[in-house]
């Protein structure tokens, strides 16, 4: 007996029923995760493609930033002339004059003299400028002797250096030989 091919005719099977599903949030999240997992990594061929879409419009071509500067470099180094002693002195005098005429420094010094206390930054600025002025005055030979030292010693008397005793015996003999009358007023 030969076999008959089944045919699908509309009357043979009952009509399929449309199934509606209520998807929970967990199902939706699961599908989203699955979709994202499939799209891992970069697209195929990205290593070989430039990755940028460029519109070549004549003058709008961008330069490659890896190319170096077009600034010319001198091949022969010129000797730097060192300033002479006279030129250094003149520049030191100019710098000292600028420091003496510095308006901000003068205002800060006036504030210090009036008894104000300055902040750390302003005090540091004043100290740096005064130190520089002192160094320039030393360089130019304009330093005056300290006033504190002059009050203690008489002006005409030469400064005598005290002999440091070498042993205990010398120290004892020096103590015994002190004239106490010179300390009485």
For 75-112, write each residue's pLDDT tens digit: 888 888 887 888 877 888 888 888 888 889 999 999 98
pLDDT tens per residue, range 45-61: 666 666 555 555 555 67
Helix (H) or strand (E) holding 139: helix 120-140
* 8 Å CB contact between 136 and 96: yes
Report the mean per-residue pLDDT for the chain: 76
**Residue 173 CB contacts under 8 Å (≥ 6 apart), including other chains:** none
Sequence ranges of the domains in the chain: 85-141
Residue 160, phi then psi, degrees to nearest 5: -95, 130
**Within a 10 A sphere around the Cβ of 136, how many other Cβ atoms?**
20
- The position carrying tokens 């490659």 is 64
26 pLDDT above the threshold of 80: yes
């Amino acid at each position: 007996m030969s076999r008959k091919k089944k045919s699908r005719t509309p009357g043979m099977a009952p009509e399929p029923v449309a199934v509606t599903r209520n998807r929970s949030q967990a199902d939706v999240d699961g599908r989203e995760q699955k979709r994202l997992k499939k799209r891992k990594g970069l697209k195929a061929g990205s290593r070989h493609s430039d990755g940028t879409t460029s519109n070549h419009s004549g003058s709008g071509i961008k330069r490659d930033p890896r190319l170096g500067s077009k600034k010319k470099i001198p091949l022969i180094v010129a000797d730097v002339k060192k300033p002479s002693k006279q030129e250094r002195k003149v520049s030191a005098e100019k710098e000292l004059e600028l420091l003496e005429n510095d308006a901000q420094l003068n205002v800060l010094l006036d504030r210090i003299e009036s008894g104000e206390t300055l902040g750390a930054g302003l005090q540091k600025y004043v100290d740096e400028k005064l130190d520089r002025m002192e160094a320039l005055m030393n360089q130019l030979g304009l330093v005056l002797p300290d006033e504190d030292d002059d009050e203690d010693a008489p002006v005409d008397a030469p400064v005598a250096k005290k002999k440091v005793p070498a042993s205990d015996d010398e120290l004892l003999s020096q103590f015994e030989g002190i004239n106490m009358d010179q300390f009485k007023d």
